[in-house]
Amino acid sequence: MSDTGTGQGLDAAWAVDWLLRSAAVVADNRVALSELDRAIGDGDHGENLDRGFSAIVAKLDEEEPATPGAAFKMAAMTLMSKVGGAAGPLYGTAFLRAATAVGDADALDPTLLVAALTAARDGVVARGKAEPGEKTMIDAWTPAVDAAAAAAAGGSPADVLLAAAEAAEAGAVATDPLIARKGRASYLGERAIGHRDPGAASSALILRAAADAAVSSGTAGAGA
Amino acid sequence: MSDTGTGQGLDAAWAVDWLLRSAAVVADNRVALSELDRAIGDGDHGENLDRGFSAIVAKLDEEEPATPGAAFKMAAMTLMSKVGGAAGPLYGTAFLRAATAVGDADALDPTLLVAALTAARDGVVARGKAEPGEKTMIDAWTPAVDAAAAAAAGGSPADVLLAAAEAAEAGAVATDPLIARKGRASYLGERAIGHRDPGAASSALILRAAADAAVSSGTAGAGA
Amino acid sequence: MKKLINDPKAVVDESVEGFGLAHADLVTVHPDPLFVSRKNAKTGKVGLLSGGGSGHEPLHAGYVGFGMLDAAVPGAVFTSPTPDAIIPATVAANSGAGVVHIVKNYTGDVLNFETAAEMAQAEGIEVRTVLVNDDVAVEDSLYTAGRRGVGGTVLVEKIAGAAAERGDGLDAVAAIGQRVNDNVRTMGVALSACTVPHAGVPSFELAENEIEIGIGIHGEPGRHRIPMENADGITDRLLEPILADLKPAAGDKVLLFVNGMGGTPSSELYIVYRHAVKVLEAAGLGVERSLVGNYITALEMQGCSISVLRLDDEMTALWDAPVHTPALRWGM
Amino acid sequence: MKKLINDPKAVVDESVEGFGLAHADLVTVHPDPLFVSRKNAKTGKVGLLSGGGSGHEPLHAGYVGFGMLDAAVPGAVFTSPTPDAIIPATVAANSGAGVVHIVKNYTGDVLNFETAAEMAQAEGIEVRTVLVNDDVAVEDSLYTAGRRGVGGTVLVEKIAGAAAERGDGLDAVAAIGQRVNDNVRTMGVALSACTVPHAGVPSFELAENEIEIGIGIHGEPGRHRIPMENADGITDRLLEPILADLKPAAGDKVLLFVNGMGGTPSSELYIVYRHAVKVLEAAGLGVERSLVGNYITALEMQGCSISVLRLDDEMTALWDAPVHTPALRWGM
Ligand SMILES: Nc1ncnc2c1ncn2[C@@H]1O[C@H](COP(=O)(O)OP(=O)(O)O)[C@@H](O)[C@H]1O
Ligand SMILES: Nc1ncnc2c1ncn2[C@@H]1O[C@H](COP(=O)(O)OP(=O)(O)O)[C@@H](O)[C@H]1O
Ligand SMILES: [Mg+2]
Ligand SMILES: [Mg+2]
Ligand SMILES: [Mg+2]
Ligand SMILES: [Mg+2]
């Protein structure tokens, strides 16, 4: 990992590591995520994401993306075509917009990272039209973007992602008392209260994987 | 009841009382008989018989049979047309043959009673082709006929029916360890072991009702 | 027990009444005694009648119409109908050329149809009976009431119905029905029990990991219980006794009928069908015709049956002939 | 969970493969990405495509054929298919006159079909979308993802399919599909839950004496739970919001569609149908056409839905037009 250098920010190796860690954490939480979805949706969220991220892992076996943007684009296309359901197009759009935001940069500094996260969140809003507080993945992404922007002033890339992960986790927990207004859970009315939104939960897991990859990449970089 | 006299044997009033008592005991045991049938058949024996005997009660409200034979014939036709399943034609044939055996006699003495029971049993055999020991209603009827014949020498009509009822009950109990060779239960093979044949159980109930009616008719006659 | 019913005792009457309303172009429902007759049958045609306990829908009323039955007699749930209904239904099915009774081999059905046929014949209607007994689950028919009539019944009704529609005489229609029966074998499996409405409790108990091989169509138990297996394994277990008994020769043409018991989604039936085709083709048989769906059921039971019919050219042509009934329709 | 399946992950692939084998005269199955296309469609005809999560069989693949769909795209169970399958299916359905996508209004379906339509259009295929949202169980569509597409989908596919078959242009076919959607309302009830194969546990829990009113077709909960009622009472509860929303005028002609959710015997559907006809006739409506059976299901769920479509002469004629698909067939 250290061969590409991380001095200027997070590179393609980090992006690949993020995707692999995401795949692992989604696999580990496959049942738990579907369980959340079973309570207020149709019980397939973990299964859907696992199908998509497994396909990403398979793709990464075949080809090595040269830039973070290339990794994001590959992830976007794979999620779009393999996940299905609401989450597939939404996560797909998120990664696609992130890819566009970072262009062909070799490494992502805090500013580019914030731009990528913001573009991802805006993409989900553009496709799904959810506002904050409607009990969707947006409720994890929006605080994550805000926290990342705050941390970017003076922080390292890892600091940015650690702040984003922490905020996303808090945002996911904060969906518990909400009534859903978008997605399947919206049909439940008050019965959605007391349950965590599965998409917000998976978003927090994936953003935590990004931070973990950054920390480990930083360590690796420091060791080089 | 005492108005028709019972000195010469059991009269039409007894026959009507028998049918009414049968209807009552079948209704009381509807669930239990179906439960037996559920174990080794299709769970409808109590329901089937109850439908038939309820119809007999309704018919008896409209018309009063003049002779035991007329009562048996009415019962035969009603059971044949209302019970369905295996038990309907079999019980129907039993009563029809009994009606033929007693002709238009006003009252049944022990000899005629034995003739009626024998004809009934033979009718069931003719239709169903079951031999004793094949775990069917024949296993109640055959010992009942034998016991009735033995009791007829010197016994009262009530004695004949009491002996028949007792033997039928023992015969029904004796079906427990058998493997069925006829009817639905035959498909179970060894799994029928340990269960009582529902048709044998209902036959014992109905023959007990005949004895009860005879005892009560004798009492009524004695009081007149 | 949760069912979309009102009074459990009125289930059959109300259901058949609704059926009659939905298919008023094809059938007439006679309420008491209950039977269903076909509208607009040709006169002079041999009449076809079937019946049996209810709970196997669409059998039999669903097959009343052009090219199949002229009358159907639904009994109480899982209980044979009685002669007082079979006789007027036979009269309705008769237009002068006699009537064929198609009877599934269950003691109750046999006895009640026998009585009714005698009485109809006494009234001057010629009756022939085709006894369907295609169920290979019954191993030793000497020591039982004999093989039961199950899935093959649908095929007998379709093919004999087409023969009657083309104008075959009474004995010829009965003979083709018999030929179908002689060439079809069926075996079923239950994954769950079913609940007779007036009983209110399941007809038998199956543990969470058990299935019953060789089930009949009345929720009565079958050959034996085994631990749950996958679809291909179950399909193998159903086909094995069918092929052992039918003994088809390589090159034989067959009709493959995968039937749902009522509570199994059609998607699962196609998974069974998929493997069954492979097994039959591996045995050198040509699967020339197929039928997949809920055609003879046991209320809401989960499970299926597989029937294999050895075809000849005449049976194939009669199978293909137009049919227009509430539950089976093609060619018109 | 007991199901006639092999690997839970292979359920859809194997089932559709079996379906393709059983209906090889009508459809071609394309395995990867998975979609089903029609054999022998007229060229120059507007193409009709539908799709969605699997588990609703016979929807949609069962409706591929003459007079209905040209392609169907089955997703994973209860999960929308993805653009990588929808796009080639759109290409297959197109014979030069463009393609109408019939999409049930669920967030996942809408997003995936939207993406696919954009990409197909970028490749030069004209696409129109009919969004079906007939489910009156969703009370306040402002605060939800909007009314869901349920039973009415079958009617949209049949009637728009007949319009395409008679040669209507792209906008006309989409318009008639939209007109059906505008005139149909549906409401469903679940008596039991269903189990998604890869989940292995029921999608929700219903107590022994509870039913769920306003269920969708994915085992997702509905409007509210109530204690079990009899069939007539449940029928009243389903029809009331339908009629309140559709607001038919006395004398209107309607099509009444009583649909089974997969685990309910057809005998029970006819009990519901019987009472529904009475309620509609009491409201002064003429029940001119009917459909009763399992046409859009939720795996093995017990329950039903009722759809009422207000007919005009053109819709009636298109409904009556010949159709020949694996699951719906008449007139040929
Ligand atoms: N309109 C929307 N905007 C943002 N997120 C949404 C929207 N609709 C659904 N989601 C997210 O998608 C998640 C459900 O995903 P998934 O279960 O995979 O799809 P489906 O609901 O189609 O089964 C929800 O938990 C929610 O976070
Ligand atoms: N061939 C036969 N001969 C004598 N009795 C028979 C025969 N077949 C069945 N039975 C009797 O009928 C009983 C079952 O009756 P029932 O449950 O009413 O009919 P079904 O089996 O058609 O549901 C059995 O318990 C048995 O006693
Ligand atoms: Mg979901
Ligand atoms: Mg019985
Ligand atoms: Mg019975
Ligand atoms: Mg889903």
Which CATH number goes with the domain that contains B128? Answer: 1.25.40.340
**Segment C190-216 mean pLDDT:** 90
Three-state secondary structure call for residue B12: helix
CA nearest D17 in C: which residue?
A: C274
Share of chain A above pLDDT 90, in %: 84
pLDDT of residue C201: 84
Residue A222 domain-assigned (yes or no): no
CA C10 distance to own-chain centroid = 23
pLDDT of residue C48: 98
Say if strands A10-11 and A107-108 run parallel, antiparallel, or are unpaired: antiparallel
Tokens of B95: 């009563």
CA of C29 to the centre of ligand 1 (A): 50
Task: Check residues C145 and B190 and name the one with the higher pLDDT.
Answer: B190
Higher pLDDT, C41 or B200: B200
Q: What is the pLDDT of residue A129?
A: 93
Q: Which residues of A touch D200 (CB under 8 A)?
A: none
| Nearest CB to B187; choose among C53, C80, C221 | C221
Whether B56 maps to a domain, the answer reads: yes
Angle CA(D183)–CA(D252)–CA(D328) in degrees, nearest 5?
Answer: 55
Pocket test of ligand 2: the residue of B33, B35, B45 to mutate, having most ligand atoms within 8 Å of its CB, is B45
Question: Is the ipTM reported for this complex over the cut 0.95?
Answer: no
Pocket probe mutation, ligand 2, options B31, B37, B91, B127, max atoms within 8 Å of Cβ? B37
pLDDT for res A3: 37
**Element holding D305 (H helix, E strand):** strand D303-310
Res. A2: pLDDT tops 70? no
The catalytic position among C60, C101, C218, C275 is C218
Supply the pLDDT for residue C139: 74
**CA–CA gap between residue B19 and residue A151 (Å, rounded):** 93
Q: Which atom of ligand 2 is nearest to the CA of C111?
A: 1
Position A187 in a domain: yes
- Kindly tell me if the per-residue pLDDT of B222 is higher than 60: no
Q: CB under 8 Å to C122, separation ≥6 — which residues?
A: none
Contact D277 C11 (CB under 8 A): no
Atom 8, ligand 2: which residue's CA is nearest? B183
- pLDDT above 90 covers what percent of chain C? 87
Residue B5 pLDDT more than 50? no
Residues of chain D contacting residue C211, judged by C-beta atoms under 8 Å apart = 2
Pair of tokens at residue D246: 């559709």
State if residue C144 touches ligand 2 by the CB under 6 angstroms criterion. no
Chain D closest CA to C202's CA: distance in Å?
14
pTM for this structure?
A: 0.90
Per-residue b/e over C234-247, b at no fewer than 16 CB within 10 Å?
A: bbebbbebbbeebe
Residues sharing a CB contact under 8 Å with residue A61, sequence separation 6 or more, in sequence order: none
Q: Please, do chains A and B touch (3+ CB pairs < 8 Å)?
A: no
Question: A44 CB near a chain D CB, below 8 Å?
Answer: yes
pLDDT at A189: 85
Q: Per CATH, which fold does C184-310 belong to?
A: Hypothetical Protein Tm841; Chain: A;domain 3 (3.30.1180)
Nearest residue (CA) to ligand 1, atom 17:
A45
Q: How far is C317 from chain B (nearest CA, A)?
A: 36
pLDDT band at residue B224 under the 50/70/90 scheme = very low
Closest CA to D71 of D38, D104, D103: D38
- Could you read off the pLDDT of B71-87 as tens digits, one per residue? 999 999 999 988 988 99
CB D108 within 8 A of CB D141: no
Q: What pLDDT is recorded for position D285? A: 98
Residue B144's domain comprises: 5-217
pLDDT tier for residue A221 given thresholds of 50, 70 and 90 = very low
pLDDT at residue D132, as a whole number: 98
Write the residue with the smallest CA distance to atom 22 of ligand 1. Answer: A85
CB distance from D55 to chain A under 8 Å? no
Residue D188 pLDDT exceeds 50: yes
Question: Measured between beta carbons, which residues in chain C are less than 8 angstroms from residue B186?
Answer: 143-145
* pLDDT tier for residue D58 given thresholds of 50, 70 and 90: very high
Cα–Cα distance, A152 to D41 (Å, whole number): 59
Predicted pLDDT at D192: 94
CB within 8 Å: C265 and D16: no
pLDDT of D175 higher than 80: yes
Instruction: Give me the pLDDT at residue B7, please.
Output: 52
Please compute the mean of the pLDDT values over residues D61-74 and round it to a whole number.
98
Please tell me the predicted confidence (pLDDT) of residue C1: 85
In a domain, B143, yes or no: yes
Q: Is the CB of B38 under 6 A from ligand 2?
A: no
Ligand 3 centroid to Cα of residue D57, in Å, is 19
Q: What spacing in Å lies between the alpha carbon of D79 and ligand 6's midpoint? A: 4
Chains B and C touch (3+ CB pairs under 8 A): yes
Report the residue of chain D nearest C289, measured CA to CA. Answer: D22
Residue D311 pLDDT exceeds 80: yes
Amino acid D142: pLDDT = 67
Q: Which of D109, A196, B127, D147 is nearest to C145 (CA)?
A: B127
Please give the backbone phi and psi of residue A132, each rounded to the nearest 5 degrees, phi first: -55, 145
**Residue bearing the CA closest to ligand 2, atom 22:** B85
> Does B221 have pLDDT greater than 80?
no
How many angstroms does the Cα of residue A204 sit away from the middle of ligand 3? 17
Judge residue C3's burial from the number of C-beta atoms within 10 Å of its C-beta, 0-12 exposed, 13-18 middle, 19 or more buried.
buried
From the CA of B92, how far away is ligand 3's center (Å)? 60
Please tell me the predicted confidence (pLDDT) of residue A219: 63
Asked if the bond preceding D33 is cis, omega within 30° of 0, the reply is yes
User: Angle C148-B201-B129 (CA atoms, 0-180°, nearest 5)?
Assistant: 45
Q: pLDDT higher for A221 or D222?
A: D222
Determine which one of C56, C60, C101, C275 is catalytic.
C56
pLDDT band, very low/low/confident/very high, at C138 (cuts 50, 70, 90): confident
User: Is A87's C-beta closer than 6 angstroms to any atom of ligand 1?
Assistant: yes
CATH superfamily membership of D13-182: Dihydroxyacetone kinase; domain 1 (3.40.50.10440)
Confidence of residue C2 (pLDDT cuts 50, 70, 90): very high
DSSP A163: H
Total structural domains within chain B: 1
Q: B81 CB near a chain C CB, below 8 Å? A: yes
- Residue A7 predicted with pLDDT over 70: no
What average pLDDT score do residues C44-71 get? Answer: 98
Using H for helix, E for strand and C for coil, what is the string for chain C? CCCCCCCHHHHHHHHHHHHHHHCCCCEEEECCCCEEEECCCCCCCCEEEEEEEECCCCCCHHHECECCECEEEEEEECCCCCHHHHHHHHHHHCCCCCEEEEEECCHHHHHHHHHHHHHHHHCCCCEEEEEECCECCCCCHHHCCCCCCCCHHHHHHHHHHHHHHCCCCHHHHHHHHHHHHHCEEEEEEECCCCECCCCCCECCCCCCCEEEECCCCCCCCCCEEEECCCHHHHHHHHHHHHHHHHCCCCCCEEEEEEEECECCCHHHHHHHHHHHHHHHHHCCCEEEEEEEECCCCCCCECEEEEEEEECCHHHHHHHHCCEECCCCEECC
Q: Is D133 on the interface with A (CB under 8 A)?
A: no
Look at D55 and C272 and tell me if their CB atoms are within 8 Å: no
How many C-beta atoms surround the C-beta of residue A54 within 10 A?
A: 16
Q: pLDDT digit string (tens) for A69-122?
A: 999 999 999 999 889 889 999 999 999 999 999 999 999 999 999 999 999 999
A15 within a domain of the structure (yes/no): yes
The torsion angles phi and psi of C102, rounded to 5 degrees, stand at -105, 115
Catalytic residues of D: 56, 218
Question: Domain coordinates of chain C in residue numbers?
Answer: 13-182, 184-310
Residue C60 catalytic? no
Please answer yes or no on whether D137 and A187 come within 8 Å at the CB atom: yes
Atom of ligand 2 nearest to the CA of B137: 27
- Average pLDDT across chain C, whole number: 95
- Mean pLDDT taken over chain B: 92
- How much is the pLDDT for C315? 98
pLDDT of residue A81: 86
Tokens 């409506």, located at residue: D285
The predicted structure's pLDDT at residue C141? 65
Q: Do A89 and D216 touch (CB under 8 A)?
A: no
Check pLDDT > 60 for residue A223.
Answer: no
Examine the pLDDT at A222 and tell me if it is beyond 70. no
**Average pLDDT across chain D, whole number:** 95
Give tens-digit pLDDT for B187-220: 888 889 999 999 999 999 999 999 999 999 876 5
> Is the Cβ atom of A128 under 6 angstroms away from ligand 1?
yes
Ligand 1 atom with minimal separation from the A83 CA: 18
